Structure 1
């Protein structure tokens, strides 16, 4: 899954517009009572659009700072617990004036763990 937007001190965004089931795969076991399911966007939170079906795919947002503007617009379903330095490196890549990456960078492997 390639990153397609990087806005320093805001968010890095990846996505796959061809596979709505990708979002379902990621969020399948997330329950509303999970404390990560919130509208508060601190740094290194993972989120996606509240309406995955409207987007016809998965948009994955990783915040790089607390972002109150995203409250109530995205649903948080996870948090980066290892690799914050990698997110910060992605944040430093060259982008054009529309915040699109000049070189391809993507997610190859992700491990999801349930908080206990």
Structure 2
């Protein structure tokens, strides 16, 4: 077999084609693919990081409700009744009177209690807010039939209890009673759905207002607004 001379090998190696180069278009396509993949991975990481953060916030905000019942968490537990005499903070008895509390909350959210006047102020008895001209507000409220069948019987009419007349209000004429003395004989006539926990002095100041022979304050005393809260 004939030997190939070194010079011939050199000529053959020169004739061989070198490695092909990638075109600019291919490089651009590969670059775009890498950018898209990096962006996708970053977006996915950010999404799951934020989701984990929100879950931790939900858990921390629901410490009193470990089972995560959002309905219970969302229901306001307190109401701040801002009157022309000062603020009265009440705790709402959602478990004892759920239907009444729901109606009260709905009216507050719609602003229906703004401007409500305390039209009956009876010393050592109650202060009452509501429409004095509505039939049954004053004369017949003690004879109304039972409407809210979930009323907690253990709730007694002690001093500084929040209640409303029994009967269907139809979103109109909702009246408020705040007792200023223990009145157990009203338990079958008024639904108790809360109690004053702050602002007893404001209630007493309203109770001391000068009234006419119909127990109407000579100087109007009313509700400016009601703010619902989860905590106080």
Superposition TM-score, scaled by structure 1 size? 0.73
The residue that corresponds to 1:72 in the other structure is 188
Go from structure 1 to structure 2 and tell me whether the alpha carbon gap of 1:9 and 1:54 turns closer, same or farther (over 3 Å shift).
farther
Higher relative contact order (CA 8 A, sep 6+): 1
Q: How many aligned residue pairs are there?
A: 100
Decide which of 157, 171, 175 is 1:41's aligned counterpart.
Answer: 157
Q: How far 1:52 sits from its partner (Å)?
A: 3.3
1:109 aligns with 2:228: no
Structure 1 residue 50, shift from structure 2 partner: 1.3
SS in 1 for 2:128: strand
Contact 1:6 1:12 in 2 (8 A): yes
Question: CA-to-partner distance for each residue in 1:77-111, whole Å, 9 max, x for gaps?
Answer: 01111100000000000001111111100111334
The answer on whether the counterparts of 2:118 and 2:128 sit within 8 Å (CA) in structure 1 is yes
Contact between 1:17 and 1:59, CA under 8 Å: does it hold in 2? no
Task: Please state whether the residue corresponding to 2:191 is helix, strand or coil.
Answer: strand
Structure 1 distance, partners of 2:176, 2:162, is 7
Report the Cα distance in structure 1 between the residues aligned to 2:210 and 2:132, rounded to whole angstroms: 23
* Equivalence for 2:101: none
Displacement after TM superposition at 1:59 (Å): 1.0
Equivalent residue for 1:89, pick from 205, 214, 219? 205
SS, match of residue 47 in structure 1 = strand
Cα distance, 1:72–1:105 mapped onto 2, change above 3 Å: same
Structure 1 position 9 matched with structure 2 position 124: yes
Structure 1 residues 70 and 113: CA distance shift in structure 2, 3 A = farther
Q: Which runs of 4+ in 1 moved over 6 A?
A: none
Q: Quote the RMSD (CA, aligned, Å).
A: 2.8
Residue 54 of structure 1: how far off its partner (Å): 7.9
Max radius of gyration: which structure? 2
The separation in 2 between residues aligned to 1:5 and 1:61, in whole angstroms, is: 9
CA distance in 1, matches of 2:163, 2:228: 13
Asked if structure 2 preserves the Cα contact closer than 8 Å seen for 1:39 and 1:72, the reply is no
Tell me which protein shows more helix as a share of its residues: 2
1:56 CA drift (Å): 4.5
